[in-house]
Structure 1
C-alpha cells in the first residue's frame, strides 16, 4: 500500500471529478463540497489507512440530457483511461441506472447513478457521482 500525502490525493480526486463533469457536458447546477479524507474500512488493522472521497451531483437538467450524458460517459471514460466494470442498474428497488469505472492503475474509482425522479412527478432528477481513491497510508 502506498504512502501518500492526503492533500495531494484529495486534489487528484477533485481533478478526476472535474474531468468527469467535462465529459458529461451538462449545463445544470452542481453540488460540490470538495473531496474529503475518510478512514478506509477495507483494512482491519491498527494502522491509519485512508481514502479520499468526493461525492457530488448534477441537477436541474432534463432527464433526457442526463441519459445522453450517461451515454457520453460510457463512450468517453474508456478513452480517458477508465475501465467500466459495471454498466447496468443498481440493486435498489428503483433499479437506478449505474456505471462503475476504475482508472487504469486502479488508483481511483467512480460510481455514477442517474436518479430519474420524473416518473414520480418530481422534477429533482440528478446524476449522482462519487469518486474515491484507492486506500493509502498517510505521510
Structure 2
C-alpha cells in the first residue's frame, strides 16, 4: 500500500499525528510511563544519521514494553518475542505531515498463532488515537 505516508506493508498500522515528531514521541513516552510501561530505548534517527553525514527528515523511534502484557504472548509462543518489545516510529514526510507507525496486537496474534485475547493488551490503537489526536489508519 502506498500513501503520502510512504509505502508500507498492510500489517503495519500508519496514522497521522497532530503533533511534531518530537512532541508525538514525547507525548507517547509520557503516557506510557504514566501507566507503568518501561521505555527501553528512544532513538532520534535523524540525529544518528546526521552524525554519519547523512540527512533525514525528523524520525524518532520508541521501544517499550510491559511484562504483564508481553509475557503471556511469549508464553503462548516464544517466537513472538521477535515482535517484542513493542515499537512506534514517528516521522515527518516531504509535505511536513507527521505520521506514526506500529504493529497491531491483532497482527502479532495472527502472525504467531496466539489467541486474540492474549494479544489484546498489545493493541496501541486506543492510546495512540487518544494521545496523538491521530487520524484513521491509512
**How would you bin the TM-score normalised by the shorter chain?**
0.3 to 0.5
Q: Which has the higher helix share?
A: 2
Normalised TM-score (structure 1)? 0.42
Normalised TM-score (structure 2)? 0.43
Which protein has the larger Cα radius of gyration, Structure 1 or Structure 2? 1
